[in-house]
Amino acid sequence: MEFIGGKLLQVVIALAVFAAIIGLIMLVVDKAPKSSRDKLTVIGFLAPAAILMLVGLVYPAIQTSFFAFTDAKGQPNGVDNFVWMFTQPEALVTLRNTIVWTVLVPLLSTGFGLAYAVFIDKARGEKVLKALVFMPMAISFVGAGIIWKLVYDYRGPGIEQTGVLNFLRVAMGMQPKQFLLDAPENTIFLIIVMVWIQTGFAMVVLSAAIKGVPTELVEAARLDGANPWQQFRNVTIPGIRGALVVVLTTITIATLKVFDIVRTMTAGNYDTSVVANEMYTQAFRAGEPGRGAALALVLFLLVLPIVVYNARVLRQQREIR
Partner 1 sequence: MKNRNYLLPVASIGVLALSLTACSGSTGGTASSGSAANTDCAAYSSYGKHDGKTVSVYSTIVDIEATNLEAAWAPFEKCTGITVKYEGSKEFETQIGVRAKAGNAPDVAIFPQPGLMADQARAGNLKEAPKAVSDLVDKNWSADWKKYGTVDGKFYTAPMLANVKGYVWYAPKTFKAKGWEVPKTWDEMLTLSKKIADDKAMKPWCAGFESGEATGWPGTDWIEDVVLRAEGPEVYDQWVSHQIPFNDAKIVKAFDKTGEILLNQGFVNGGFGDVRSILTTGFAQAGQPVLDGQCAMHHQANFQAANWPQGTVVAPEGDVWAFMTPPIDASRGESITGGGEMVGAYKDTPEVQAYLAYMASADFANNRVKLGGVISANKGLDPNNAQSELDKQSVKLLQDPKTVFRFDGSDLMPGAVGSNSFWKGIVTWINGTPSQQVADTIEASWPKS
Residue ranges that bind partner 1, judged by CB under 8 A = 2-3, 6, 9-10, 13-14, 16-17, 20-21, 23-24, 27-28, 31, 72, 153-157, 159, 176, 178, 180-181, 263-264, 267, 269-270, 281, 284-288
Closest approach, Cβ 10 to partner 1, in A, equals: 5
Give 228 or 287: the residue with its C-beta nearer to partner 1. 287
Give 135 or 150: the residue with its C-beta nearer to partner 1. 150
Give 130 or 263: the residue with its C-beta nearer to partner 1. 263
* Helix, strand, coil tally for the chain in percent (to 5): 80, 0, 20
Closest approach, Cβ 282 to partner 1, in A, equals: 9
Question: Which neighbouring-strand residues pair with 70?
Answer: 76
Number of C-beta neighbours around residue 62 at 10 A? 10
Closest approach, Cβ 308 to partner 1, in A, equals: 34
Angle, in degrees to the nearest 10, between helices 289-320 and 59-67: 130
Closest approach, Cβ 228 to partner 1, in A, equals: 46
Closest approach, Cβ 6 to partner 1, in A, equals: 5
Cβ atoms of 72 and 289 closer than 8 Å:
yes
Give 17 or 304: the residue with its C-beta nearer to partner 1. 17
Angle CA(290)–CA(295)–CA(300) in degrees, nearest 5? 125
Angle CA(241)–CA(208)–CA(148) in degrees, nearest 5? 95
Cis amide bond preceding 184, omega within 30? yes
Closest approach, Cβ 254 to partner 1, in A, equals: 21
CA dist 282 and 295 (Å) reads 9
Give 28 or 55: the residue with its C-beta nearer to partner 1. 28
What is the Cβ-side half-sphere exposure of residue 287, based on CA atoms within 13 angstroms?
A: 2
Give 23 or 111: the residue with its C-beta nearer to partner 1. 23
